[in-house]
Structure 1
Amino acid sequence: MEWDDLRIFLAVARSESLSGAGRRLAIDASTVGRRIARLEAALGAKLFVKTPQGYALAPEGERLLPHAEAAEAALAGAREALSGPGDLTGQLRIGAPDGCANYLLPQICARLCQDHPGLEIQIVALPRVFNLSRREADMAIAVSQPQAGRLIVQRLTDYQLHLAGHDDYLDAHPPIRSREELRGHRMIGYIPDMIFDRELDYLTETGAEWAQLASNSVSVQMQAIRAGAGLGIVHDFAIPFCPGVRRLLSDQISLVRSFWLIRHADDRRSERMNRLADALGQGIRAEVARLQALLPEDAST
């Protein structure tokens, strides 16, 4: 069995399709199919089961998977040992919720690319949990700590969220001095059945039962607030990007959440991935602190 065969096996396992694996590897899907058939013949085992959704791992494929991942990690470690501790190079794909991806990661990744010109960073902003076993991302940032899986989990930093509105909206309505005076105001928040993590259920903190204007994207919610469409819970670190948006009732409605960095357990032995994780963690902590220090004054009540 050759490493190139295992590389193609891993790509199909992670993509669950021949075409997806082909895109990952920059080869034709039919070639991927032939290589998988050749590997199955050589091993005398069926590695995948064709389903309407794509290619699922057969029991034999499930047993092969951890060994293929170990070989991948060992090869990466060998490359690092030969290249030494110089600049970080290669591709890094980071999965993150869209608030972090929009307001924090661009600045952090810009500095990383400046410090390490050979580094290629991909930011995947999706409102869901990433599957690191399928290598949808090399590392992921989450808003809650996972409770299962072969993972390295590191708490990065706490961040704050508050109720906020735009000056245009606030100027058009009477002053809001208490939670009770929020009744009758248009609230902006998540679509209830698309909240993928309980830590994102912000609206209950305001006492509101539902959002009249809702999105599965926190960035869309912020832009709606910026447009004067209503009030909503927002990340403090996002407010400096939106002139005219101010916190209100910050002494009565205040939320604290955490960012967690999640990596595949096999990456623990990778000096490169450890260095990237350290750099990303330091960057997020520094950027959250910097942006929260730039908050404008709260809205007058």
Structure 2
Amino acid sequence: MPTNWDDLKLFLAVARTQSLSGGGKALRLDPATLSRRIARLETVLGRALFVKSPQGYVLTDAGEQLLPHAEAAEAAVQRVELAGAGSAGPEGLTGQIRIGAPDGVANFLLPQVCAAIGRENPNLDIQIVALPRVFNLSRREADMAISVSAPSTGRQTVQKITDYKLHLAAAPTYLHNAPPLLTRADLGRHRVVGYIPDMIFDKQLDYQSTLEQDRVALASNSVSVQTNWIRQGAGIGIAHDFALPVIGGIKRVLINEISLTRSFYLVRHSDDRKIARLNRFADRLLSGLRDEVNRLEALA
């Protein structure tokens, strides 16, 4: 097993991006140099670590075996760096922390919560990556991620953040011009806004089964697009209660007939639980998100 951290760093970059160009960009190395370094590492080990496929550079069995050791080395280096720099002094948290999240929470909750954390820690850089998919923490796409369901596999720790509510919602302009909407049975006469069915990345987001409607007239994989359609009076759809005060111009309908409860979870790489700096940030993020959901839902 190699003990050179520089070699392991190169290996991790290619494993996580599945390409020489992506790994080179992350490390600021040209792909040709990175290719030579990886080839040299494979020669030292006497085993191929990657195989070229249509999907890019995929780990071989030997690469899969090396991956957890490389990640453990990375975590150890990070702990040493943080200990040297100090996880927090009188100025608070420092450095950079990246959060991955579905675009609903990324658009309507994280900006105000992270803004408050940033004011408390002026030397901390916070990055929010909003993507409608599950984040791969083993590839270090983010330091931590928010999920709508608790993952059951992988070397991860999971903390429940809070429950949140969703209701059918519409703009007054839409309701004024549309057929009456008095019961669930009336939904068949309305234009429904929702997810693209084959792009629902988590079963907790499959709201159409609750609405019992096969057709989605206006569909997007983005919650922000969906809520903007609703706000513009294009149709009706399921919306987060916490988003309604932020968006404005939308009201809940059929409240007693259609009401959903879902949960947010904070997911982290298990090794990162040893890093005090990330623990402090996670604790503040959890409390901030819980308070903000409660505040906004009370205004819905």
Is TM (by shorter chain) over 0.5?
Answer: yes
CA distance in 1 between counterparts of 2:110 and 2:29 reads 31
Question: How is 1:44-193 mapped onto 2 (pairs within 5 angstroms)?
Answer: 44-86=46-88, 87-173=92-178, 175-193=180-198
CA distance in 2 between counterparts of 1:58 and 1:88 reads 39
Give the deviation of 1:19 after TM superposition. 0.9
CA contact (8 A) 2:179 2:189 kept: no
SS at match of 1:293: helix
Give the deviation of 1:75 after TM superposition. 1.3
SS at match of 1:183: helix
CA distance in 2 between counterparts of 1:219 and 1:272 reads 31
Give the deviation of 1:154 after TM superposition. 0.7
Give the deviation of 1:175 after TM superposition. 4.6
Give the deviation of 1:174 after TM superposition. 5.3
Question: How is 1:183-222 mapped onto 2 (pairs within 5 angstroms)?
Answer: 183-222=188-227
Q: Percent identity?
A: 60
Which one-letter code corresponds to 1:283 in the other structure?
Answer: G
Give the deviation of 1:123 after TM superposition. 1.5
- 2:35 maps to 33
CA distance in 2 between counterparts of 1:175 and 1:58 reads 59
Give unpaired runs (5+ residues) of structure 2. Answer: none
- 1:290 maps to 295
Change (3 A) 1:220 1:282: same
Give the deviation of 1:40 after TM superposition. 1.9
One of 11, 16, 32 as aligned partner of 1:9: 11
Give the deviation of 1:56 after TM superposition. 1.2
Query: CA deviation digits over 1:240-279, x for unaligned, max 9?
Result: 1222200011111110000011111111211122122112
CA distance in 2 between counterparts of 1:194 and 1:180 reads 27
CA distance in 2 between counterparts of 1:206 and 1:9 reads 47
> Is 1:18 the equivalent of 2:20?
yes
Change (3 A) 1:180 1:69: same
SS at match of 1:80: helix
Question: How is 1:243-258 mapped onto 2 (pairs within 5 angstroms)?
Answer: 243-258=248-263
Q: TM-score, length-normalised on structure 1? A: 0.93
CA distance in 2 between counterparts of 1:67 and 1:126 reads 29
CA distance in 2 between counterparts of 1:283 and 1:109 reads 8
Tell me the C-alpha RMSD between the 2 structures. Answer: 1.5
Which one-letter code corresponds to 1:77 in the other structure?
Answer: R
Which one-letter code corresponds to 1:126 in the other structure?
Answer: L
CA distance in 2 between counterparts of 1:24 and 1:117 reads 26
Which one-letter code corresponds to 2:165 in the other structure?
Answer: Q
The range that moved more, 108-117 or 211-220, is 108-117
The range that moved more, 223-232 or 51-60, is 51-60
Give unpaired runs (5+ residues) of structure 1. Answer: 296-301
Q: TM-score, length-normalised on structure 2? A: 0.93
Query: CA deviation digits over 1:270-299, x for unaligned, max 9?
Result: 11221221122112111111211222xxxx
CA distance in 1 between counterparts of 2:48 and 2:118 reads 42
Give the deviation of 1:155 after TM superposition. 0.5
Change (3 A) 1:249 1:41: same
CA distance in 2 between counterparts of 1:84 and 1:243 reads 43
CA distance in 2 between counterparts of 1:204 and 1:70 reads 42
Change (3 A) 1:31 1:88: farther
Which one-letter code corresponds to 2:283 in the other structure?
Answer: D
Give every structure 1 segment of 4 or more consecutive aligned residues whose post-TM-superposition deviation is greater than 6 Å. none
